[in-house]
Structure 1
Amino acid sequence: MTDIIGRIADGLADLVTDARASGELAPYVAPLTVPPVLRPGSDDVRQETEIALRPTWVRLHPQLPPTLMWGYDGSVPGPTIEVRRGERIRIAWTNRIPKESEFPVTSVEVPNGTPRPSTQPGRDGVEPNKDVAALPAWTVTHLHGAQTGGGNDGWADNAVGFGDAQLSEYPNDHQAVQWWYHDHAMNITRWNVHTGLYGTYLVRDDEEDALHLPSGEREIPLLLADRNLDTDEDGRLNGRLLHKTVIVDPKNAETGKPVSLPFTGPYTTVNGRVWPYADVDDAWYRFRLVNASNARIYNLVLIDEDDNPVPGAIKQIGSDGGLLPRPVPVDFDEALPTLTIAPAERMDLLIDFRAFAGRRLRLVNKGAGEAPGVPDVANDVRYPQVMEFRVGESGECEDSFELPEILSGSFRPITHDIPHGHRLIVLTPPATKGGGGHPEIWEMAEVENPGDVQVPTDGVIQLRGADGKVKTYRRISRTFNDGLGFTIAEGSYEQWSFLNLAVQPEVTHPMHIHLADFQLMGRDAYDASGFDTAVGGTRAPIEFDPDRRIPLAPNERGLKDVFRVPGGQLLRVMGRFDGAYGRFMYHCHLLEHEDMGMMRPFVVMPAEAMKFDHGAGHGGHDGGHGGGRAG
């Protein structure tokens, strides 16, 4: 027996040596880890639960040396926080990362046109960014999705240093849901999250309990995050995290600063491990999926041993804001060819393994131009592997779960009959005048007398809607620190319309609004060719395209707080801003875009208090009905 163990150890050592030398890692060789569960509930809300941010060493893959990361309570991902609805808690997010700690991420920007793409491991000979290496541990935690006051929301500027605590209170007065928490520090969120500062948060309630969904060991969080890895002087993987992006304009005339693309890495981690496997029974399982990546949008497919899609095994039962009204079958057909999940989106999935005893199924990331499981380097999918499920062979597993036809009897659709205000937000192409080479968020207000406005003019956009009428809008803000644009009455409904002026549909911004849950009201196709980036406005109206209908996907019909806005689309969402007052943010959840300016504030206050506002320091409003109108 000793000889056998010795030969196995020698074989693994050879595998590690070969893999590190070649830069290739073997998939599905490490078991899936499950974050610890933390239940901070107490009868005394004054009792705080401390969650300390600490340096930690993580083994991302058996063929790699340990990787230095930062984790919540020393765990990557952080512990799964679990509470009951209405169970108010207080958390002290305490920064315990010593001042002298090394920043765990190496950051480089590879010149555009480099022979190897940004998803190739290693630095391509580029020197690390010394300014990133010198970053202190300056952190602030945002509980993404939570309805809590502005002072508890994790305002980006209110980050803390070593020894200080960020004190936050969460009422948790929300239907059963999966939120998640992550760092949100101003300017450096992309690197702080990259270090490992993310985790998931579950709210339970009686309605969910009554469904008797798979639970215990058969309910598993899956936190996806793509990463790149640095190499040593010999080209071998050294385990160090690498934030590697491509510079698209190294000599930007407006700012003199380089403009880099959002980060996508070759290695997918699930719960902090590269391409793990999970041993499962031949039974129903519930997976709480969140995309914790900086910028990668996954197109997930479940495949069998022969790389063929497995139809019918997956049912989606929830999204960002909780349970869907009914289960959505995932058959990987034309209606829902993949499970597309953008950064910060969540999916509550059931997978039925009962017909797959003794088999292995794999979750892969499908490239835009290839079959499932096939590398598609042209679309940044160097390695399609995500994780493997190894189904037990017993065939006799006890499982009494039955999929319900209706999931949430409390779900109520929002309709246009509800009194509501309108906002128009424009997402600009990177080359737009005054943008410094980056895409921006423009808040727009409708012009009452269009004849008084010259067209084309910087910041002026004309829009021809489905009714054939042309409306003129003027930009009222474009950067985070511009004057406040949106002030909203607490308890009011608003429709926010996001118009992406990029011509290419693959230029997608996942937009996130803090505090509120929304429902998607519709996607409309628009011809954005009338927008002139050199002018910063339209030469001809942006036209509604009646010939290109874009139906909402079945799994988009629940409550959402992150919405994908592809180029050439206007997305309309409606929600109620209730449950809290304060100053909040909305932003693109591509973290590189967020850090570089695609973020704006808004304020929620009592409607009664708004009557006494004279506009000084606050944006346009009309009892919650201000701002630009669209749709």
Structure 2
Amino acid sequence: MTETIERLTGETTGAGAGEREKERERTPETALGTYGLTPYIAPLTVPPVLRPAAGDVLRETEVALRPAWVRLHPQLPPTLMWGYDGHVPGPTIEVRRGRRVRIAWTNRIPKDSEYPVTSVEVPLRTDGRPQATTEPGREGVEPNKDVAALPAWSVTHLHGAQTGGGNDGWADNAVGSGDAQLSEYPNDHQAVHLPSGERKIPLLIADRNLDTDEDGRLNGRLLHKTVVVQQRNPETGKPVSAPFTGPYTTVNGRIWPYADVDPAWYRFRLVNASNARIFELVLIAEDGKPVPGAVHQIGSDGGLLPRPVPVDFDAELSALIAAPAERFDLLVDFRGLAGRTLRLVNKGPNQPAGVPDPAGDVPCPPVLEFRVGESCEEDTFELPEVLSGSFRRLTHDIPHGHRLILLTPPPTKGAGGHPEIWEMTEVQDTAGLQLPADGIVQITGPDGTTKTYRRTARTFNDGLGFTIGEGSHEQWSFLNLGPIVHPMHIHLADFQLLGRDAYDVSGFDPAAGGTRTPIRYDAGTTIPLPPNERGHKDVFRVPGSQMLRVMGRFDGAYGRFMYHCHLLEHEDMGMMRPFVVMPPEALKFDHGGAHGGHGEGHTG
């Protein structure tokens, strides 16, 4: 408590403290007066660790969802949130390799509990000013009463492990107050010798916004403020809003905290838990320039990379790009940085690291400050040359099926002003086909062959389209016809990125809902895969006018799963589809083939 008070008053003591305070006064972050909070005065919190007794399915561990009052920043009043066992974020659950754990996610949120987020939609600004979502407060707009009336209806789902469909956290399998979601989780992850104990720290990063009182002062209440990009959609009569992004970045539930670290190796398990913000993270020094050689990525969504990837913030990897739900296992070497102050910042697309970029929706670059101590016990850890000796690249000579998924632009016919997921099936007989036609798309691939596809599903509630034999490999190709970057997430399986291809998508006519001329492969544009995307992943960024090809094996579990865009508002607007994994012997009795259910197996 004393340390926190000293940081607030600026009367810190000890070696280097005065210089740090003077240095803070010189930086752009102190020019954030309109946002009401001072960066780097709250210590980073580390979630508690939960170790279930024996780690055995015969024993059950309850984790209760409860309302909690959390102080996001020392200069804010407490914020009402719903958390796990009263913690935001919830505890880290550690289980020994080779054992399963059973968790009862129990909803202990009272039925009459106040919904902890105020929701508003504000008009689109057309006068050149940054959009209102980059500012706190409601702009005088009344809260959405339907959101305020939402009940405590909760579901918890898992990323990065093979668990049956009944344990996965299916969207509709939510429980009300007083009920529990029972889930079992295996743990077959590889054991490695890496920094541990106090030098292994989870970093859960999320952007947020805050409401203000009638005098314009921050009141601590969470605010979901989005911009109405279309006042009324002619098909639905409802307004169309862009996904949420906010000006305040929280790390482990605190806004712009600091962390005291030793001049030693640290392991950080980082996850982007934002609704929609894609971070471009850079580690900078006191002079605002990137720190080379300190950061190494050793793992991604699905586990360890084959080898460490240096994140030197050069031309090849100028920032650590983190889309919602992407995970990063990082090693940071602070040994040569004793006594220094370093900052992890969000780089705006139009500005250097550490400089505010309101036009690029990054009005507040701060994320996390590292204060490196002067000395510590000798650190004997050495960065390994090989991390996963068992890693093997998936290649096309493995028998596999194919799926084609289109990501459509918001103005597309019948979409209600929102982007959609279209599942496509090849049309074998095109005689008499008149183009353009709603749901019909032609694509000219790298070999110059033009194929015709028809849409078989587009919304979450359309019939089941994909049925997959357990243990089989599949290649899923996501072709983005719009300008929005979609982070696509597939449940259950780990995937490897096979490649990114550029396409000319101008032949797609949103008003017609199909192509007037074929979408064509762009042979003149090469898109290399960055080295940190060459491991196992289950979340992949798909930029506009690109086809992303991924391959994975659907093994280890049966049941109904989901794949979806991980921009939360897109997912909730219907950019989510089901698939079912079943024993391969049962596929011959499945009737999904009539609507494109089975991936065609081949080795090409």
TM-score category, normalised to shorter length: over 0.9
Letter in 1 for 2:412: T
Task: Name the residue aligned to 1:213.
Answer: 194
Aligned: 1:249 with 2:230: yes
Which amino acid letter does the alignment assign opposite residue 409 of structure 1?
Answer: G
**What do the CA deviations read for 1:377-422 (whole angstroms, capped 9, x no partner)?**
111101000000000012x531000111111011111111100000
Aligned to 1:519: 496
Q: CA deviation at 1:339?
A: 0.2
Conservation of the 8 A alpha-carbon contact between 1:498 and 1:570:
yes
One-letter code of the match for 1:87? Answer: R
**Identity percentage of aligned residues:** 76
2:73 equivalent to 1:61: yes
Q: What pairs up with 1:124-143 in 2 under 5 angstroms? A: 124-143=139-158
Aligned residues: 582
1:620 to 591, 596, 601: 596
For the Cα contact (< 8 Å) 2:163–2:184, is it kept in 1? yes
Do the aligned residues in 2 keep the contact of 1:248 with 1:261 (CA within 8 Å)?
Answer: yes
Structure 2 residue matching 1:611: 3-state secondary structure: helix
Q: Describe the shift of the 1:416–1:20 C-alpha distance in structure 2 as closer, same or farther (beyond 3 A).
A: closer
2:471 corresponds to 1:486: no
Shift of 1:123: 0.7
Contact 1:20 1:236 in 2 (8 A): no
Counterpart in the other structure of 1:343: 324
**1:477-534 deviation line (CA, Å, top 9, x unaligned):** 00011111100000000000000001x3xx2000000000000000000011100000
Aligned partner of residue 355 in structure 1, secondary structure: helix
- Correspondence 1:94 to 2:75: no
Q: Which amino acid aligns with 1:257?
A: K
Residues 42 and 430 of structure 1: is their aligned pair in 2 closer, same or farther, counting only changes over 3 Å?
Answer: same
Contact 1:488 1:605 in 2 (8 A): yes
**Which residue number in structure 2 is paired with residue 398 of structure 1?**
378
C-alpha spacing 1:372/1:11, structure 2 compared with 1 (3 Å): closer
Asked if structure 2 preserves the Cα contact closer than 8 Å seen for 1:122 and 1:231, the reply is yes
Matched, 1:259 2:240: yes
Please give the root-mean-square deviation of Cα atoms over the aligned residues, in Å. 2.2
Matches within 5 A, 1:248-287: 248-287=229-268
Q: Deviations over 1:213-271 (max 9, x none)?
A: 11110010000010000000000000000000000112111111111101100000000
Alignment gaps of 5+ in structure 1: 13-17, 177-204
- Identify the match of residue 97 of structure 2 among 68, 81, 85: 85
CA distance in 2, matches of 1:619, 1:72: 41
Rate the CA distance shift 1:430–1:6 in 2: closer, same or farther, 3 A.
Answer: closer
Counterpart of 1:565 (choices 529, 533, 542) is 542
Alignment of 1:496-575 (within 5 A): 496-502=476-482, 504=483, 507-575=484-552
Unaligned runs of 5+ in 2: 12-29
2:568 to 591, 602, 605: 591
For residues 217 and 268 of structure 2, the distance between their equivalents in structure 1, rounded to whole angstroms, comes to 35
Deviations 1:37-65 (A, max 9, x none): 01115264121110000000001000000
Change (3 A) 1:437 1:72: same
Q: 3-state DSSP class of the match of 1:84?
A: coil
Q: 1:371 to 1:498 in 2, by over 3 A?
A: same
Cα deviation, 1:71-90, whole Å, max 9, x if unaligned, reads 01110000011112221111
Distance in 2 between the 1:554 and 1:41 partners?
39
Task: Tell me the TM-score normalized by structure 2.
Answer: 0.93
Q: Which of 342, 352, 358 is matched with 1:377 structurally?
A: 358
Q: Alpha carbons of 1:9 and 1:423: their partners in 2 closer, same or farther (altered >3 Å)?
A: closer
* Cα 1:374/1:630, change in 2 over 3 Å: farther
Structure 1 position 610, deviation (Å):
1.1
Match of 2:15 in 1: none
Code of the aligned partner of 2:422: W
* Paired position in structure 2 for 1:184: none
Does the Cα contact within 8 Å between 2:56 and 2:100 map onto a contact in 1? no
SS in 2 for 1:382: coil
Match for residue 14 of structure 2?
none
The alpha carbon displacement at 1:611 in A equals 1.4
Structure-1-length-normalised TM-score: 0.89
Distance change >3 Å, CA 386–CA 92, structure 1 → 2: same
Secondary structure of 1:327's match?
strand
Which amino acid in the other structure matches residue 105 of structure 1? V
Distance across 2 between alignment mates of 1:148 and 1:389: 37
Task: State the shift of 1:6 in Å.
Answer: 10
SS in 2 for 1:594: helix
Residue 21 to residue 523, structure 1, CA distance change in 2 (3 Å): closer
Contact 1:250 1:258 in 2 (8 A): yes
Over residues 591-615 of structure 1, what are the superposed CA-to-partner deviations in whole Å (9 max), with x where a residue is unaligned? 0000000000000000111112234
Match of 2:185 among 154, 170, 179: 170
Aligned to 2:17: none
Relative to structure 1, the CA distance from residue 21 to residue 541 in structure 2 (aligned partners, 3 Å threshold; closer, same or farther) is closer
* Cα distance in structure 1, aligned partners of 2:533 and 2:560: 28
Q: By how many angstroms is 1:146 displaced? A: 2.3
**Once structures 1 and 2 are overlaid, which stretch shifts more, 266-275 or 446-455?**
446-455
Q: 1:64 to 1:464 in 2, by over 3 A?
A: same
Q: Secondary structure at the match of 1:83?
A: coil
Is it true that 1:578 corresponds to 2:558 in the alignment?
Answer: no
Contact 2:464 2:592 in 1 (8 A): no
Q: 1:423 touches 1:630 (CA, 8 Å); kept in 2?
A: no
Q: Give the residue type in structure 1 aligned to 2:111.
A: K
SS in 1 for 2:95: strand
Label 1:21 to 1:492 Cα distance change in 2 as closer, same or farther (>3 A). Answer: closer
